[in-house]
Amino acid sequence: MTAILNSNLTDWTGAPLTYFTSTFTTAIWDANANGSVITSRPGNAASGISVNEPITIFTNLPINPSTVGKGIQVAQNNVAVPGTVNVLDNGTRLNSHRVCRGHLAH
């Protein structure tokens, strides 16, 4: 499959988006499979990220909201960072809002 984003999309100032494509393959869904992380933002080893940028995690199967409190840990320099986690998109997207100083480790 190919996702195509073109100049019909604009940013908040009205400037058109630069043409972008992303190609990927799909898999057959297995109801017996465990859930897994598909991707996250910021990406692994990303740098230059704003300290106020939320951490967003996308999963292939819905996450049970009652497990989020103990199932997600965010740390900065090996010290836990307090914050909140929102379960969105029927449980397949998690947004973590944390207040961090400097670089973020997750």
Quote the pLDDT of residue 106: 42
Quote the pLDDT of residue 98. 62
d(CA 2, CA 20): 10
Pairing type for strands 2-5 and 20-23 reads antiparallel
In this prediction, residues 70-91 reach a mean pLDDT of 82
Q: Flag whether pLDDT at 87 surpasses 70.
A: yes
Q: How far apart are CA 12 and CA 23, in angstroms?
A: 26
* H/E element, 70: helix 68-71
pLDDT at 99 over 80: no
Q: List the domain boundaries for the chain.
A: 37-98
Q: What is the pTM of this model?
A: 0.63
